[in-house]
Amino acid sequence: MILDNRTVVGFLLNKIQWLEWGKESFEKAQSLGKPILLDITGSWCHWCHVMDNTSYSDPAVIDLVNKNFIPVRVDTDKRPDVNRRYNMGGWPTTAFLDNEGRIITGGTYIPPQQLREVLRSVLDFYGLEPVQPRTNRCLTGSQRTLQPQSRSTLT
């Protein structure tokens, strides 16, 4: 199958633009003043695939994430150190970090509607105005907030 540029651009616009874990991602978050959405996943994880097919395929989630966050995806089997530090109780882990790597909040599987609310709440906490109108500004009870951690294990 041959794809033209419009097809490729359309495909890319309808996906979260995940970055790899590393110094460059944190530098980008710092230079742009954006929080990080950290997704810890595993190829063997059923709920990780469900999250990809529901929450991370939701057009409103994709738009909010790509415009307002630095999205970073980590394979738990390749980076167990990141998993040990940021896992929120299972897989997938959905963690929101400031641009220094401190945890703002997070959880595990978050359905699309709830994820849209959490994304907006993180932006409120972070002091950013999301591009789309807000509805609910409260973090839900299924997410937890942790105390900031040092940046010593970012790379």
Structural domains in the chain, CATH included, are 22-126 (3.40.30.10)
What mean pLDDT do residues 107-132 have? 89
pTM of the model: 0.78
**For residue 22, what are the CA distances in angstroms to 63, 70, 98, 144, 147?**
23, 12, 14, 24, 22
CA distance 151 to 149: 7
What mean pLDDT do residues 64-76 have? 98
- Is residue 152 within 8 A of residue 135, CB to CB? The reply is no
pLDDT of 149 higher than 70: no
Q: How confident is the model at residue 127, as a pLDDT?
A: 85
Q: How confident is the model at residue 13, as a pLDDT?
A: 52
pLDDT digits (tens, 9 = 90+) for 34-64: 999 999 999 999 999 999 999 999 999 999 9
pLDDT of 94 higher than 50: yes
Question: Which residues, listed in sequence order, are joined to residue 95 by a DSSP beta bridge?
Answer: 38, 106
What mean pLDDT do residues 59-81 have? 98
What mean pLDDT do residues 81-105 have? 97
CA distance 82 to 41: 11
Nearest partner of 38 among 78, 75, 64, 77, judged by Cα: 75
Q: How confident is the model at residue 72, as a pLDDT?
A: 98
Tokens representing residue 99 in the block: 């641009």
Please state, rounded to an integer, the average pLDDT across all residues of the chain.
Answer: 83
Q: How confident is the model at residue 11, as a pLDDT?
A: 46
Phi, psi of 73 (to 5 degrees): -115, 135
